[in-house]
Amino acid sequence: MDERPGLASRVVFIGLAVSLALALGVAFYIYVRYVRYEPVAALHVPAEFDTVVHVSVQQAVVYEPFRKHLLHLFEAGRRGPESRLLHLERKTTLELGVDSREAAFGFGPEGRWVIAMGGLFRRQAVVAGAQRMLKDEGIPSILLEAPERLRVASGAEFAVAEDGTLLLAQSASILTQALGASAPQRPLAQRGTLGSLVASRPGGWPVGGGRRVLGVRVQLRAADGRFPYEAHFEIDGAGWEQPLDVFEQTSDGPWALPATLGGARSTPAGPQAFVVSGELDRAGLEVVVARLAFFVRQRLALPK
């Protein structure tokens, strides 16, 4: 009888330990399933592509310009009254609104492109569901195997990578590259970043007067209702006394924005580089995102 209180205490402690272990297990599962996410979308953009636009979907969709201009691109050419994103959710049971984390748009020479949507997605039955969606819209497609993918009349193909990234590529060869996820890590997705852009190509982009932009890295963030940005330029040629006019004089550069946005200012970053920085208000964000969407639409050759 004297041992029963001790035995009861041990049972209570064991019960508490089991309960704690179960609670920790549930918390870890929730963290892995719904919180933790490592950006991977840009890894699916082939290394030879010269421009990558990255959007942190989970943060950007809070702001109306991203929903209005960038998400609207997914509705291009839609046949039917229902939103294509909602239609895709219904046919695949993906929860795009909940599980989407990032999107990367990659552009290469000769008009090549790929789109990668990263998130906490499963892989099963997604391609077949996408085919059912296209059938509802009256768009013919072919379901192919090894790997499972969907091809439409233009030659564009859709598939799901091993890591769950949704991929849409201009051609079968580009999709094969994108599925490999072997591209080098680009300085795009960072904590607190709404959107990023990295561009570089042999020979660069001419900006007049013998000058060229060889490469650029842009980061756009959100902070207390304002939107600070930085653009790092690598340059070639003489005559850069007024570097801000690069925004105005370059029509085919992916950064082509009015120099007056956000009180833009430039600072030297070495003999062949400078940094343009500023801060946008909500009206400026509208202009920037609309221009970005226009650039993406042009490179994808999407209908209006």
| Mean of per-residue pLDDT scores for the chain | 83
Domain annotation covers residue 297: no
Structure confidence by residue, pLDDT tens digits, 208-223: 778 888 988 999 999 8
**Domain shared by 171 and 258, yes or no:** no
Strand, coil or helix: 149: strand
On whether the CB atoms of residues 103 and 296 are closer than 8 A, the answer is: no
The secondary element (H helix, E strand) that includes residue 35 is none
Q: Does residue 35 register a pLDDT over 80?
A: no
Structural domain of 10 = 1-36
For residue 153, what are its two tokens?
A: 């009349």
CA–CA dist 189, 87 (Å, integer): 28
Beta bridge partners of 212: 206, 236
The total number of structural domains in the chain stands at 3
The one-letter code for the residue type at 21 is A
pLDDT band at 241; cut points 50, 70, 90: confident
**Domain shared by 72 and 104, yes or no:** yes
**Domain shared by 137 and 267, yes or no:** no
What is the reported pTM? 0.85
Beta bridge partners of 152: 141
On whether the CB atoms of residues 202 and 157 are closer than 8 A, the answer is: no
**Domain shared by 24 and 117, yes or no:** no
Structure confidence by residue, pLDDT tens digits, 152-198: 999 999 999 999 999 999 999 999 999 987 666 666 656 678 989 99
Lowest-confidence segment of 79-93, 129-143, 157-171 by average pLDDT: 79-93
Beta bridge partners of 169: 114, 157
